Amino acid sequence: MLLIGAGAATDLAPFDPARVQIVQGFYPDHRALKARGYDMATEASGDFDGAVVFLPRARAEARARIAEAAARLAPGASLWIDGQKTDGIDAVMKEMRALAPVDEVQSRAHGKIFRVTLPQPGWLPEGWAAQDHLAAPGMVTRPGVFSADGPDPASQALAAALPEKLPTRIVDLGAGWGWLSAQILAHPGVELLHLVEADAAALDCARRNVTDPRARFHWADALDFRLPEPVNGVIMNPPFHEGRAADPRLGAGFIRAAAGLLTGAGRLWMVANRHLPYEQALRECFAEVAELGGDARFKILTASGARRGTAGRLQPKGPQPKGRKR
């Protein structure tokens, strides 16, 4: 059985770990499920006698997951689609009814699950499979990655506020598909840039978008990412949502992780939505904190003098089922 999009908080009790493959590209969920004995992948491989797709909220990503599952099934196989009303499950079921036999509809408190019996090949419309999107000159994205349509305005504001010369060794914490990293590498002084990203699809795009030999790529959880040696710069546009819920503790966790990566003389540059109260976390982790500028939407913050022993405290705990969003 193929499961696409199952997370650490998904109820997997009906499934035998020895008989399923789970496709999950969000590193914390991938790591947690692998530790529980599941066969994990970031892309499906092989053929299956059935599949379950857990819907994301983004419509293009939902269609891509359905197409990925269908490509691994024979005609007549069962494809189950599970989603919340807020994920658009009703709209997806309506689309499926127009394309293939749908039955076994089960309603839940906030969503539905239903079965699609696969017709002969070619039943899905062209364009449902994941395709490249040209998000910036020479840079591509894929469905479901953060800010897939183009550079995020907050990242653009941060890039514009950076000093001309940057430190030699830098981490882009939560690098996404690489737009901000490309701007960083255009500055003099940079000798090595680590791109750290939890979303495998976004990091794959970053590898294609940032071909500079000074770049290093890490599929990892920013909250506990470490390097053998500290760096002297961290630049980040941290997310502040767990799934759909705004949670400033996530950004505070990024701040603590940044402090753990920096030398004592190293510097952090970050952007945040104006309303987010990150100054306290910054003062806990750094000796010097200042606001460089911004506008009504964003503030650009910088900090230096990382305090030893702050990394790892007060980081968000528990499963992260839907991925982190800015």
pLDDT digits (tens, 9 = 90+) for 26-39: 999 999 999 999 99
Torsion of CA 180, 185, 190, 196, to 10 degrees: 40
Q: Is the pLDDT of residue 318 over 90?
A: no
Residue 291 lies in a domain: yes
pLDDT of res. 248: 74
Q: Is the pLDDT of residue 171 over 70?
A: yes
For residues 290 and 184, state if they share a domain.
yes
Task: Name the domain count of the chain.
Answer: 2
Report the CATH number at residue 210: 3.40.50.150
Taking the CB of residue 142, how many other CB atoms lie within 10 A of it? 22
Mean pLDDT value across residues 320-324: 44
Range in 132-146, 188-202, 224-238, 242-256 the model is least confident about: 242-256
Residue 244: which pLDDT band, with cuts at 50, 70 and 90?
Answer: low
**pLDDT tens string 114-150:** 999 999 989 999 899 999 999 999 999 999 999 999 9
Q: Which domain holds residue 38?
A: 2-117
Please say whether the beta carbons of 188 and 164 come within 8 A.
yes
Of 117, 147, 163, the domain-final residue: 117
**Average pLDDT score over the chain:** 92
Q: Is the pLDDT of residue 324 over 70?
A: no
Query: Could you give phi then psi for residue 111, rounded to 5 degrees?
Result: -175, -160
For residues 276 and 154, state if they share a domain.
yes
Q: How far apart are CA 204 and CA 5, in angstroms?
A: 17
pLDDT of res. 110: 86
For residues 208 and 319, state if they share a domain.
yes
Residue 66 lies in a domain: yes
For residues 257 and 140, state if they share a domain.
yes
Could you tell me the CA-to-CA distances from 129 to 67, 71, 82, 88, 248 in Å, in that order?
Answer: 5, 9, 19, 18, 34
pLDDT of res. 199: 97
Range in 124-138, 232-246, 266-280 the model is least confident about: 232-246
Q: Is the pLDDT of residue 18 over 60?
A: yes
Q: Is the pLDDT of residue 314 over 70?
A: no
pLDDT of res. 320: 42
Centroid of chain to Cα 68: 19
Please say whether the beta carbons of 61 and 143 come within 8 A.
yes
**pLDDT tens string 97-116:** 999 999 999 998 889 999 99
Torsion of CA 186, 252, 140, 202, to 10 degrees: 120
Mean pLDDT value across residues 298-316: 75
For residues 52 and 87, state if they share a domain.
yes
Please say whether the beta carbons of 257 and 173 come within 8 A.
yes
pLDDT of res. 309: 66
Q: How far apart are CA 239 and CA 155, in angstroms?
A: 11
For residues 156 and 287, state if they share a domain.
yes
Indicate the pairing of strand 192-197 with strand 215-219.
Answer: parallel
Residue 124 lies in a domain: no
For residues 227 and 311, state if they share a domain.
yes
Q: How far apart are CA 239 and CA 83, in angstroms?
A: 24
Q: How far apart are CA 294 and CA 173, in angstroms?
A: 20
Q: What residues form DSSP beta bridges with 28?
A: none
Range in 66-70, 261-265, 314-318 the model is least confident about: 314-318
* 201, containing H or E segment: helix 200-209
Let me know how long the chain is.
Answer: 326
Please say whether the beta carbons of 197 and 180 come within 8 A.
no
Taking the CB of residue 209, how many other CB atoms lie within 10 A of it? 21
Please say whether the beta carbons of 194 and 231 come within 8 A.
yes
Structure tokens at 218: 């890490």
pLDDT of res. 166: 98
Tokens 């990024």 — which residue? Answer: 254
Range in 14-18, 60-64, 180-184, 311-315 the model is least confident about: 311-315
Residue 126 lies in a domain: no
Residue 262: which pLDDT band, with cuts at 50, 70 and 90?
Answer: very high
For residues 107 and 178, state if they share a domain.
no
Q: How far apart are CA 298 and CA 109, in angstroms?
A: 37
Specify the pTM. Answer: 0.91
Residue 33 lies in a domain: yes
Residue 294: which pLDDT band, with cuts at 50, 70 and 90?
Answer: confident
Q: Is the pLDDT of residue 321 over 60?
A: no
Please say whether the beta carbons of 190 and 210 come within 8 A.
no
